[in-house]
Each structure stands twice: as structure tokens, then as C-alpha cells.
Amino acid sequence: MESQQPLNHQNIETGAIPPQMNHGGHEMFDVHEVLSGSINTMNTYTMLSEHVHDPELRDILQRQKQFMADEYNITQECFKTGQDPSKPTQSYKMKQGNDFTFGMKPSQSKKPMQSAAEITDETIALSMLNAVKSGALVKTGAAMEVTNPVVRRVLADSLPNCIEMAYEISLYQNKHGFYQVPQLSPQDMQQMQNGYSPAPIQPGNFSSH
């Protein structure tokens, strides 16, 4: 009996790769890490939710978790089918303003908790921020490895949402004194800002597409 070539080898020769198989090896592992990380972040938010005291922080946590679940479903769907998801990706909108308070004030030094009774809104906000930042890094790496155009676009669209969520959390932290932002002196800032000049651009070298 004549042996048959593997299906994927035949598809590569004919070019007839079904959409659900339109994924490279690196992509499979990296998107697996993205989806697993998304679940872990949502699980983290769920575990933290019962310890939140501030209604404002609870609102941020709930809105972000709901958005993450929707984004996870979109990513999972297009990864499984290789095709456009049944609903388009969305843009996360935060409620915070954009004003940071700059400068350092005396504060207590940080140390690890000794029991769950020490969980505060400060530690919850920091855990949320770290989870969102971690997800952004994993999604960035995965987007650079993806071969499927739909999955690549969905991951790329997710990155601004991660940035927006992290920014929203950091604004909350700053407003409540959990995150202080030092500044350089005005002279040092001006020195660094003036340390760069525009690059010369030759006219007519850009495509209109």
C-alpha cells in the first residue's frame, strides 16, 4: 500500500491550507500563552474583587474584567477558526482624567504582606497593574510571531487596550497616593527635550497607501 504524505505537507504543496490550520508553530505556542495569561488575569481580578473596599476601584476592576472577557472570546474564536471573529474588536474607554500629581512625599517603606488580612486597595491596584502590564508584553511578543493575518490584527488591536487599562490603574494609584511620580528639575528636563532635532525628510519619498 502506497504511503501517504502528511496532510499539512500536501497542503503546503498545493497552497490549499484551511483557515483553521493557517498558523505557524511559534504562533501556536505564543497565542496559547496569550490565552492562558488572559485567563490568569481574569482569575486574578476575580480573586481580588472580594477584597476591594473603594467603589471607584471596584468599578475599574469590573469594567476591565468584562472587557477582558470579551476580548478573550474574540481572540479565542479567531485563533480556532483562522477567520474574522463574529464581532469586531472594541476600544477600551477609561473614566479617569489624565492629570497626574507629580512630586514625592514622605511615605512608609514597602514590605511583603504576612497574611491576607493585610490586603488593601493599594495592593489590589498594584496587582491589577502588574497583570495588565504582563499581558501587554506577552501579546506584543505573540503579535510579532503570528502568521495568521486575523489573529495578528486582533492581538495588535488589543495592545492599545492594555495600555489604556494600565494608564487608568496608574491614574487611580496616583490620585490616592499609592503611586508617586518624581520629576527632574526644569533645567534637566529642558536640556533633555532640546537634545533632539527633527530628522530631514526628502519630499516625495512616501507612498500614499
Q: What is the pLDDT of residue 82?
A: 84
Express each pLDDT in 185-203 by its tens digit.
999 999 999 999 999 988 8
CB 147 within 8 A of CB 27: yes
Q: What is the pLDDT of residue 2?
A: 42
Q: What is the pLDDT of residue 201?
A: 87
Dihedral (Cα; 145, 149, 151, 152), 10-degree rounding: 50
Q: Kindly state the DSSP code that residue 92 receives in the 8-state scheme.
A: -
- Would you state the cell numbers that stand for residue 96, as one nine-digit string? 479617569
pLDDT exceeds 70 at position 9? no
- What pTM does this model have? 0.84
In the chain, domain spans: 17-95+120-176
Q: What is the pLDDT of residue 7?
A: 47
List, in order, residues 6 or more apart from 89 with CB less than 8 Å away. Answer: 71, 74, 153, 154, 157, 158
Instruction: Provide CATH code, domain 17-95+120-176.
Output: 1.20.1260.10
CB 174 within 8 A of CB 181: yes
* Percentage above 70 pLDDT, the chain: 85
Binned at pLDDT 50, 70 and 90, residue 29 comes out as: confident
* Percentage above 90 pLDDT, the chain: 65
CB 31 within 8 A of CB 136: no
- Would you state the cell numbers that stand for residue 10, as one nine-digit string? 500536501
Residue 52 has a CB neighbour count (10 Å cut-off) of 21
Helix axis angle for 55-81 and 25-49, nearest 10°, is 160
* Residue 95 exposed, middle or buried by CB count within 10 Å (0-12, 13-18, 19+): exposed
**Mean per-residue pLDDT of the chain:** 87
Express each pLDDT in 52-85 by its tens digit.
999 999 999 999 999 999 999 999 998 888 889 9
Residue 199 vs residue 24, higher pLDDT: 199
Binned at pLDDT 50, 70 and 90, residue 11 comes out as: low
CB 124 within 8 A of CB 57: yes
Residue 53 has a CB neighbour count (10 Å cut-off) of 10
Q: What is the pLDDT of residue 23?
A: 64
Q: What is the pLDDT of residue 10?
A: 46
Q: What are the helix (H) ranges across the chain?
A: 7-14, 25-49, 55-81, 121-143, 149-175, 186-193
Residue 151 vs residue 96, higher pLDDT: 151
Q: What is the pLDDT of residue 4?
A: 46
State the Cα–Cα distance between residues 140 and 130, nearest whole angstrom.
Answer: 16
